[in-house]
Structures are given as C-alpha cells and as structure tokens.
Amino acid sequence: MEGAKLNNDTSLGINIKWLIQIIVVAAMIVWGYFGLTSKISHLETDVLRMKDGVIMNSEFRVKWPRGQLGALPDDAEQNMRLQFLEDDIGVLEAHVDDLRIKSVQQQRLHEPPHPSFLQTKEIK
C-alpha cells in the first residue's frame, strides 16, 4: 500500500449497502443540525419577545398610575361628562343663591320695622 497513489484512475470498492447507510446517516445528521438551529433560533426570538413584554409591562406599571401614558378613551369621555355636570351644578348653585338672596330681601320688606328703628326716627 505504500506505493498506492491517488489520481484520476484511483477507484474505491465499497458495498452499496454501506454507501446507502453512510448517505442516510449523513442526511439525518444534516437534518438534525438544521432542526436544532431552527429550534434554537425560534426560542431566542421567543425570549426576546418575552423580555420586550416584561420591559413594556414594567414601564406601563410605573407610568400608568402617574398619568404619563394618557387616559383611556372611556376615561376621557367620563371626564368630559363630569366637567359638563360640574358646570351645570355651578349654574344651579348660583341660581339657588340668587333665589335665597331675593327671599331674604322679600322677608325684610314684609317684616315690621324693629322698635329701636322707630324710636330713632321719632327722636329726629
């Protein structure tokens, strides 16, 4: 075998059964490798999404109570309705105050004058 050289005329004698087994094993190794790399890539993507979700949740948890993220549309509508109700109540309270003042003024007009007031008029 010392004199054996590799060249264009070199041939290799192998059993077809062994050749098929070698090809199948090589194919399974390649398939397994790409399957593992695909699964690892998928899991890395999932981990990145989870990290992003945790960061966003932490930011939301901190900023939402402070009012830094705005308000829900329902909250904005509710606040608008409350503002209108507060304005209406302010108008009604002013009207009630006017009515109380007028009532007090009418009571004073219909009450007889205080006796001390009459005495001071007679003195003059």
Return contacts of 40-45, CB within 8 angstroms, 24+ apart.
none
The C-alpha atoms of residue 119 and residue 124 are separated, in whole angstroms, by 9
pLDDT tens string 8-65: 877 778 889 999 999 999 999 999 999 999 999 999 999 999 999 898 888 888 887 7
Q: How confident is the model at residue 7 (pLDDT cuts 50, 70, 90)?
A: confident
Say if residues 71 and 79 touch (Cβ distance below 8 Å). yes
pTM for the structure as a whole: 0.42
Q: 46, 66, 44, 64: which is closest to 56 by C-alpha?
A: 64
pLDDT tens string 80-116: 899 999 999 999 999 999 999 988 888 888 777 666 7
What confidence score (pLDDT) does residue 73 get? 65
Q: Which of residues 118 and 78 earns the better pLDDT score?
A: 78
